[in-house]
Amino acid sequence: MNELLLAQCDPKAPLMDADTRNRVLATLPGWLPDADAKVIGRSFRFENFYQTMAFVDAVAEIAHAQDHHPEMLVGYNACTVSWTTHSRGGLTLNDAICAAQVSALPEATAA
């Protein structure tokens, strides 16, 4: 089991160095870094708006429980979720924790 699924975000988490970031991202299929490697994102597709909103609600539950909040672009049958640690100006383990937990949602495989 991926230890990120059970981890709790740490508000003092440091930025990940390049080696750590690459190792951690290798455990997160579908999550891609932006050009500056300061944000990771993934798009999810759904059959309808209802499924999309159920997914958005589930992501919100994770964000609330972890006190770590994503950017989300929501459409009729798709949602793109992006994680970064704004207070650190880049990627921390918190972003990977939340990405792993979102990927594990039953709603994440709806379509």
Average pLDDT over residues 53-63: 97
pLDDT in the model for residue 93: 97
Average pLDDT over residues 11-28: 96
pLDDT in the model for residue 84: 98
pLDDT band at 1 (very low <50, low <70, confident <90, very high): very low
Mean pLDDT of the chain: 94
pLDDT band at 2 (very low <50, low <70, confident <90, very high): confident
Average pLDDT over residues 105-110: 79
pLDDT digits (tens, 9 = 90+) for 23-41: 999 999 999 999 999 999 9
3-state secondary structure at position 103: helix
**Which of 30, 100, 50, 102 lies closest to 72 in space, CA to CA?**
102
- pLDDT at residue 110 greater than cutoff 90: no
- Model pTM score: 0.94
**Which of 27, 3, 9 lies closest to 84 in space, CA to CA?**
9
> Which domains are seen in the chain, by residue range?
15-34+55-111 (3.30.1360.20)
pLDDT in the model for residue 82: 98
